[in-house]
Amino acid sequence: MESKILFLSTVFFCILSIHAETLRTYIVQLHSQNTTSSQFTSKFKWHLSFIKQAISSDENPSSRLLYSYRSTMDGFAAQLTQSELDYLQNLPDVISVRPDRQLQIQTTYSYKFLGLNPARGDAWYQSGYGRGTIIGVLDTGVWPESPSFNDRGMPPVPKKWRGICQAGQAFNSSNCNRKLIGARYFIKGHLAASPSRIPEYVSPRDSHGHGTHTSSTSGGVAVPMASVLGYARGVARGMAPGAHIAVYKVCWFNGCYNSDILAAMDLAIRDGVDILSLSLGGFPVPLYDDNIAIGSFRAMEHGISVVCAAGNNGPVAMSVANEAPWIATIGASTLDRKFPAVVHMGNGQVLYGESMYQANQFSRAGKELELVYVTNGDTESQFCLSGSLPRDKVRGKMVVCDRGVNGRAEKGQVVKDAGGAAMILANTEINLEEDSVDVHVLPATLIGFDESVRLKAYINSTVRPLGRIDFGGTVIGKSRAPAVARFSARGPSFTNPSILKPDVIAPGVNIIAAWPQNLGPTGLPEDSRRVNFTVMSGTSMACPHVSGIAALIRAAHPRWTPAAIKSAIMTTAEVTDHTGRPIQDEGQAAGVFAMGAGQVNPQRAINPGLIYDIRPDDYVTHLCSLGYTRSEIFSITHRNVSCHEIMNMNRGFSLNYPSMSVIFKDGSRRKMITRRLTNVGSPNSIYSVKVTAPTGVKVKVKPRRLVFKHINQSLSYRVWFFSRKVKRAAMTFAEGHLTWIQSNGSYRVRSPISVTWKSR
């Protein structure tokens, strides 16, 4: 596991307990109407009655009930044996039972990179820095003393707020303030599943750092002179420094359990958050089996924007997670900020690398050292796993470690413990040229795969190979950015290819944000240095950027729906980088399955001109059009609908999504979709359409001109796609885009298009 990229696979855990039969945690979903519920005075008692019926012993049923859910769904989480489960599943009130699953968690400068400046007339000014909005962050908790959560100058806690500041280990109500207005923790699912626990704060306090980092990225206040060991010195500030933050700790060292996540969403809805930010997830699962999709449907119905990380399983296709159409799914991009740490080899060659390391702290930095790459016939020493490096071979030397298996900073600690003086982290074929800046406990740098081949050839070619690392500080603006991060999960959506995912990309590489003050910048237990900020990478870091932007838009337009806010973010996204050329992905122009609509631009998103709005009912119609069964739709939406009737009333329905995904299946050659735009710009606006057709497809739009007389006026258009030929290959793709341009050029409303040919 790489320490800084924690969005991992879904793993099952179960526990052996005192019961003869194994207990496992299940999430039980119930019918909400016309049920036995009327016989009970509360939902809690009703939920408890199911367990009472199911357990045969005279055990106290409440010891088995973990959570009783009301707002995300009607149901509960409980520990059950297989026979109890079999009994419950056959009760008429029970509609579905899902085993609990474990998910994983997956900026002094990024706000400037995105074009936000504290000047009149811009997005920050128009939204009052996101003033008054509440961002709920589901993560590893928070370090409340971080200067990023100082509440000086913050407005009072909004009247609608009904949350609490939950006391626990090293945390009490005085830790909340007008910035950090709420904090809760959810541990029952975690405790039920993890027999041996790693010591960590049993409270909203962050033992890990990830949650402190993501919360401050979304809504941290400005902290002048922020830096990581002197690197990237500047003002650190979240995307929406005027927003309030509410922290829901659902992730622990062993991961984040769905039962805990659902409980947090359940309360967050009632607490009154405006935005939910989830930098966590796993692999894609069907929507009716996806607790985040289910919980966020209800959140969306309550007008809450749900923003999620797309996952770090890229560049593999179909790796994008959190892909429900009512969620904003965020990929990661790079910044134009570098931290060069160049290796000079004894043969005169130079290898470019990157690192953050306080060079003046250790005397060996910049000094020529003997290079060693320990290959004892085992890969353990090549990866510098704990205890694998022989002291006599590495003492006083610069040790080469392959990237992967264990954490990057951890490798540095292993080298240091074995007496090594410096480290070169070498990318393998898996990472290729992907950069990742880390803080290390000894002088270190990370080099790309090409460089690592040259380095190893040099080491092999001579008896006493030598090397020196020169640390170059912080360099801004010299490289092409943004580019899609290699690890950022890619579309098309596995469960629902008719929606193009991810939606957008946002900065997620080498992001500097707040960090617990009791952890060193590496997060390693041995690291005794103290910092207020550190650097991290992942779609986890991209997600809170967009949560913050959603808060800015919401503050400027309090009545907009989550769909309208997402539309504004998507249709104004950029597809070119700072040099004006196409955003890159792995050295080529990025495709729509890598970047969605493109790189977020908060400056334009706050004033998009037109929006594609979606009502909650439209999502139900969409699920019907995908052929979901009545019970599957009930699981996701808690609505008992007849798709037959709905589809009869909505012939030719298309979900009014801000991007377009067209699928030609089984030789079909013609597709028509509709869209509806609402004017939120100026009255008397005339828009005309410009289309870049995907290769092999003819696109016809009707009408080609939209004349909006009033604000809030909605107008529809239709788009026909004609495939020029029937493609026979298993699956092929093409992409294009469609843009509505206002007559005087004030607004450009752009939608990416993907076309997929499927033979079966």
Ligand X SMILES: *[C@@H]1O[C@H](CO)[C@@H](O)[C@H](O)[C@H]1NC(C)=O
Residues forming the active site: 139, 210, 540
Shortest distance, position 400 Cβ to ligand X, whole Å: 10
Strands 511-514 and 275-278: unpaired
Shortest distance, position 93 Cβ to ligand X, whole Å: 6
Q: How many CA atoms lie within 13 A of 636 on its CB side?
A: 25
Strands 231-236 and 327-333: unpaired
**Total number of residues binding ligand X (CB under 6 A)?**
25
How far apart are the C-alpha atoms of 349 and 454, rounded to whole Å?
9
| Contact status: 35 vs ligand X (CB under 6 A) | yes
Nearest residue (CB) to ligand X, 41 versus 712: 712
With CB under 6 A as the contact rule, which of the stretches 101-109, 455-463, 565-573, 696-704 interacts with ligand X?
455-463
| Contact status: 46 vs ligand X (CB under 6 A) | no
| Contact status: 744 vs ligand X (CB under 6 A) | yes
Site string for ligand X, 501-540 (x = CB under 6 A): -----------------------------xxx--------
Nearest residue (CB) to ligand X, 35 versus 254: 35
Give the phi and the psi of residue 557 in degrees, each rounded to 5.
-135, 75
Which letter does DSSP use for residue 677 in this model?
Answer: E
How far apart are the C-alpha atoms of 240 and 335, rounded to whole Å?
19
The amino acid that residue 706 corresponds to is L
Which letter does DSSP use for residue 283 in this model?
Answer: S
Site string for ligand X, 582-621 (x = CB under 6 A): ----------------------------------------
Shortest distance, position 313 Cβ to ligand X, whole Å: 29
The amino acid that residue 181 corresponds to is I
Contact 533, 513 (CB under 8 A): yes
Site string for ligand X, 76-95 (x = CB under 6 A): ----------------x---
Q: Which phi-psi region, left, alpha or beta, contains residue 596 (left: φ > 0; alpha: ψ -120 to 50)? A: left
| Contact status: 711 vs ligand X (CB under 6 A) | yes
Nearest residue (CB) to ligand X, 154 versus 592: 154
Shortest distance, position 375 Cβ to ligand X, whole Å: 7
| Contact status: 31 vs ligand X (CB under 6 A) | yes
| Contact status: 629 vs ligand X (CB under 6 A) | no
Site string for ligand X, 460-489 (x = CB under 6 A): x-----------------------------
How far apart are the C-alpha atoms of 534 and 553, rounded to whole Å?
28
Q: Looking only at residues 358 through 397 of this chain, which bind ligand X when binding is defined by CB under 6 A? A: none
Shortest distance, position 205 Cβ to ligand X, whole Å: 12
| Contact status: 640 vs ligand X (CB under 6 A) | yes
Which of 413, 408, 421 is closest to 372 using CA atoms?
421
Task: Candidates 288, 487, 619, 634: give the one binding ligand X (CB under 6 A).
Answer: 634
How far apart are the C-alpha atoms of 596 and 331, rounded to whole Å?
8
Nearest residue (CB) to ligand X, 504 versus 643: 643
Dihedral of CA 196/197/199/203: which sign?
Answer: negative
Q: Looking only at residues 542 through 581 of this chain, which bind ligand X when binding is defined by CB under 6 A? A: 559
Which of 195, 196, 190, 255 is closest to 16 using CA atoms?
195
Contact 29, 95 (CB under 8 A): yes
Which of 249, 16, 288 is closest to 137 using CA atoms?
249
Nearest residue (CB) to ligand X, 24 versus 604: 604
| Contact status: 685 vs ligand X (CB under 6 A) | yes
Shortest distance, position 713 Cβ to ligand X, whole Å: 9
CA distance to 376, 420, 425, per residue, from 394 (Å) = 13, 5, 15
Give the bridge partners for 341, in sequence order.
471
Task: Candidates 83, 682, 692, 716: give the one binding ligand X (CB under 6 A).
Answer: 682
Shortest distance, position 316 Cβ to ligand X, whole Å: 27
Strands 714-723 and 533-536: unpaired
Shortest distance, position 758 Cβ to ligand X, whole Å: 33
| Contact status: 49 vs ligand X (CB under 6 A) | no
Q: How many CA atoms lie within 13 A of 205 on its CB side?
A: 20
Task: Candidates 144, 147, 219, 736: give the one binding ligand X (CB under 6 A).
Answer: 147
Shortest distance, position 233 Cβ to ligand X, whole Å: 11
Shortest distance, position 630 Cβ to ligand X, whole Å: 7
With CB under 6 A as the contact rule, which of the stretches 172-180, 268-276, 339-347, 669-677 interacts with ligand X?
172-180
Nearest residue (CB) to ligand X, 144 versus 242: 144
Which of 101, 98, 500 is closest to 320 using CA atoms?
500
Task: Candidates 16, 18, 34, 729: give the one binding ligand X (CB under 6 A).
Answer: 34
Shortest distance, position 133 Cβ to ligand X, whole Å: 17
| Contact status: 688 vs ligand X (CB under 6 A) | no
How far apart are the C-alpha atoms of 499 and 491, rounded to whole Å?
10
| Contact status: 174 vs ligand X (CB under 6 A) | yes
With CB under 6 A as the contact rule, which of the stretches 33-41, 117-125, 339-347, 660-668 interacts with ligand X?
33-41
Shortest distance, position 681 Cβ to ligand X, whole Å: 7
> How many beta carbons lie within 10 A of that of residue 15, not counting itself?
15
Task: Compute, in degrees rounded to 10, the torsion defined by CA atoms 275, 279, 284, 290.
Answer: -50
The amino acid that residue 80 corresponds to is L
Which letter does DSSP use for residue 288 in this model?
Answer: G
Burial class (CB in 10 A: 0-12, 13-18, 19+), 648: exposed
Beta strands in 539-694 (DSSP E): 584-585, 588-589, 610-611, 660-665, 670-679, 685-692
CA distance to 255, 493, 663, 733, per residue, from 730 (Å) = 37, 17, 13, 10
Nearest residue (CB) to ligand X, 530 versus 705: 530
Nearest residue (CB) to ligand X, 25 versus 685: 685
Nearest residue (CB) to ligand X, 629 versus 746: 746
With CB under 6 A as the contact rule, which of the stretches 56-64, 170-178, 308-316, 377-385 interacts with ligand X?
170-178
Which of 296, 468, 254, 273 is closest to 369 using CA atoms?
468
How far apart are the C-alpha atoms of 539 and 505, rounded to whole Å?
9
| Contact status: 684 vs ligand X (CB under 6 A) | yes
Task: Candidates 629, 668, 674, 746: give the one binding ligand X (CB under 6 A).
Answer: 746
Nearest residue (CB) to ligand X, 684 versus 695: 684
| Contact status: 456 vs ligand X (CB under 6 A) | yes
How far apart are the C-alpha atoms of 18 and 669, rounded to whole Å?
62
Nearest residue (CB) to ligand X, 236 versus 485: 236
Give the bridge partners for 535, in sequence order.
512
Footprint on this chain of ligand X (rule: CB under 6 A): 31, 33-35, 92, 147, 172-174, 456-457, 460, 530-532, 559, 634, 640, 682, 684-685, 711-712, 744, 746
